[in-house]
Amino acid sequence: MFGFQVVLSAPVFVAASQQSDNVNDPTGILLQYGVLGLGALVLLWFARVSYKREVDRADRLEAEVLRLNNLIQEKHIPALESATHALRDATEIIRDYDRDIRRIEPVPSPVRRPRREPQGDG
């Protein structure tokens, strides 16, 4: 089985090494090592594809974060500001109401009871 794979792969090695005239192209150099070189090429290809996929994913997620930040700035912050103003107005109304009620009916101050001295055997 191993000999069969080498026979089928030999034309690929020869063709790749003949096409690789560029000094920066590692294909011909790696294919000189046979199956190990082919494995290294597959790993390099996988690394490149995986890196590109992760970069594209990161770019897509960054765009999504920017979109959500813009949505927050455009819609949620004004809504929070109006809710804050409504709470401030409600607090002022309750404070005025409480002040008016105290003018009409003064709240009695709490009654303090005298302290009892502890009884001892003495």
- Which pLDDT belongs to residue 4? 41
> Whole-angstrom Cα distance, residue 96 to residue 104?
13
> Are 33 and 44 in contact, with CB atoms under 8 Å apart?
no
117 inside domain: no
Number of folded domains that form the chain = 1
Q: What was the pLDDT predicted at 86?
A: 94
- The answer to whether residue 119 is domain-embedded is no
Whether residue 11 is contained in a domain is answered as yes
What is the pTM for the complete model shown? 0.43
Can you tell me the mean pLDDT for 29-48? Answer: 84
What pLDDT does 3 receive?
A: 42
61-108 confidence digits (pLDDT tens)? 999 999 999 998 898 888 889 999 999 999 999 999 888 887 777 666
The chain-wide mean pLDDT, for the chain, equals 78
